[in-house]
Amino acid sequence: MIEITSKNTRIWSRLGPSGALGVAALELVAENPNVLMLTADLAFFSGLERLKEQYPDRLYNFGIAEQNMIGAAGGLAKEGFIPFASTYASFAASRCADQMRVNMSYMKLPIKLIGLTAGFGAGILGATHMSVEDIAIMRSLPNITVISPADCTEIIKSMLAAAGSSEPTYIRLTGPVNTPIIYKEDYEFEIGKAVPLVSGTDVCMIAAGSVVYQTLEAAKILEEKGISCSVVNMHTIKPLDTAMLDQVILSHKLIVTVEEHSIFGGLGGAVAEYIAGKNHNVGFEIIGMKDFFPCAGDYYYQLEQSGLTALQISERIVEKRL
């Protein structure tokens, strides 16, 4: 049984997203004989080495053959297993698109696909490993739940929740090792239910993934400038928590989405599509990656290139309000 304590959240933060995946995987395999872990030659990188040692018959390595991995996951799901397949998000979303479309979207098989190093998590390896379009791809496929956890604690909670869901699910892991901590103690996590983190009156920032931390820091900067901000963690991008959206649209002057993803088709696009169908007089802004690939570099360098640091987010909001 995983205990969510202040000490454990610090440990998971140091391990980073892949380490948190490994913690959740070990728990799931120990508790449920139907859970299997599939990897595309990334067992060590996915934090699955301990699982490999303790449960060697529950981990399957498909090599660098991601399409085959999803096809096999479909077969395992048909036989009643709960397959968790993990690979780089850049490969999961695009290289496996056909297999996902058939096995997850059309057949509605309960495959759980984990996208490692989404956004800038592997930016040091260059554009080939930057997944800046995965949400857009996954959102466009019917029947697939899309989750972007805010920190390592939420990664673990989202994996445990996904294991208990019958829906095909994509979980994108963002952030560096020493991931900023959002949740220092246990909290209620439910797929499709956003979590309000800060309450304000002027601006509501809706974020997903590890940039939730940058958004919280931006709210502090704006508060010093006399701008009252709410911050909402919209960890589930599909289906959106429309009840939460209705609430913040009516109570704020400006809605701002923040994401470690292209400004096309991601969280911002999902929220914009919802607002467009409503007759609300509310300002709206999408903060994310513009139409380019950043130069190779570490996580924080790429955040700055893309205008996603706390200071840059706060400056965008000040400009928008002026």
Walk across the sheet containing 203-207 and list its strands.
195-198, 229-233, 203-207, 254-262, 283-289
Based on the residue annotation, tell me whether 66 is a catalytic residue of this protein. yes
Q: Which of 27, 31, 49, 66 is catalytic?
A: 66
Greatest pairwise CA separation for the chain in angstroms: 60
Residues acting as catalytic residues: 66
